[in-house]
Amino acid sequence: MKKILLILAIIIIILVTYQTVGQKFHLQINDFLKKNTVTEKQVILDEESVVTKVVEEVLPSVVTVGISKTTTTPDTYQFDPFNPFNPLEQIPGSKKKIEQNIGSGFIISKDGLIITNKHVVSDTSAVYQVLTNDNKKFDVQKIYRDPLNDLAILKINGNNLRPLKMGDSSKIKLGQTAIAIGTPLGEFKNTVTKGIISGLGRGITAGSPFEGYVEKLDNVIQTDAPISAGNSGGPLLNSKGEVVGINTAIAQDGESIGFAIPVNVIKDLIKTFEKNGSSFERPYIGVRYKMISKQTAILNDVIEGAYVTEVIAGSPAEKAGIEDEDIIIEFDGVKVKGDDDQGLAKMILEKKVGATITIKIWRDKQTLTKKLTLEAYK
């Protein structure tokens, strides 16, 4: 009888212990699941908090660029109805002042340097202003237009401004978050849109509907973050609030297809500007070109170098006798390598305005030597 009671007691103890441990384990499992199960609502809230945090941090550094220009309507004439070639009266044209927000930009230094697109400020006869996030208006004192890319640096008399943090566009990955900020249509200041990085290494033609200006660009970033005319010059940001590109263009024939110049191109421009000081002078030769690699040259029975697609009228290249379809193979004694997209550009930037250099070109299967004097890009 004692054995039976002992066995029953042991069974009861085991059952009670199992139940207690089981309940505790069940509670631990539930607690673990609650802490580690990510709901759709949580994902949305986390994503929203990332975007709102970025916007709060960077908005004080994003600006709107405006233009001020006086235009004159053409003169008109009243003619003799019996002799249409005999003007009776000349009516002088009228002058009209235009003030309009046309683009965006962002602050890159505390003392008033701002980056934007060159096509936003392409009219050299106009006056430009910058409107900051706190509605302060500054006149643009100087403009430094990059002759190689659709970029420009503006100088305003500001201080204690908040420059944006620069990222690294070489580390961009397809599918990562992209946040665009700017003034679309020149009207809706501080507009924020969000999307992803949709493509890399695209080739596009950028321009401005306000200026009628276009420029061919290679190796740009594609995004589906909605941007419009007027967004040009505004920052494209990652989820850390770092600039990864500058919004530049949209596809005319498609929806949700925007393009941005990679931030590393901007950083190279800033380095050049700091090196040259505030002179805003940068040497140029005045050609558009595409690089021909050694492999491409062999396949097409040509020579490695920079294939000239266009010579700009009045440029040093035109004055030196360089023509479309020439291939630049040597610049001031240094071979132009076809597998280095920025090679020729770097060679030019290392020279000073006014320097006379020797260029060797390949034309009709012959090597020709040209003398060229570098000029400042205006």
Instruction: Name every residue whose Cβ is closer than 8 Å to that of residue 54 and which is 6 or more positions away in sequence.
Output: 179, 237, 239, 240, 241
Catalytic residue among 61, 104, 119, 228: 119
Two tokens at 80?
């003799």
26 part of the active site = no
Of 174, 188, 160, nearest to 61 by C-alpha is 160
Annotated catalytic residue: which of 61, 104, 122, 150? 150
373 burial (CB, 10 Å; 0-12 / 13-18 / 19+) is middle
Name beta bridge partners: 213. Answer: 208
Measure the CA angle with vertex 334, ends 329 and 337; round to 5°: 50
Task: Please list, in sequence order, all residues whose beta carbon lies within 8 angstroms of the beta carbon of residue 60, skipping any fewer than 6 positions away.
Answer: 132, 133, 134, 162
Q: Which of 232, 268, 315, 326 is catalytic?
A: 232
Annotation marks residue 150 as catalytic: yes
Distance CA 287, CA 338 (A): 16
Is-contact 367 327, C-beta < 8 A?
Answer: no
Name the token pair of 128.
């430009």
By annotation, the residues acting in catalysis are 119, 150, 232
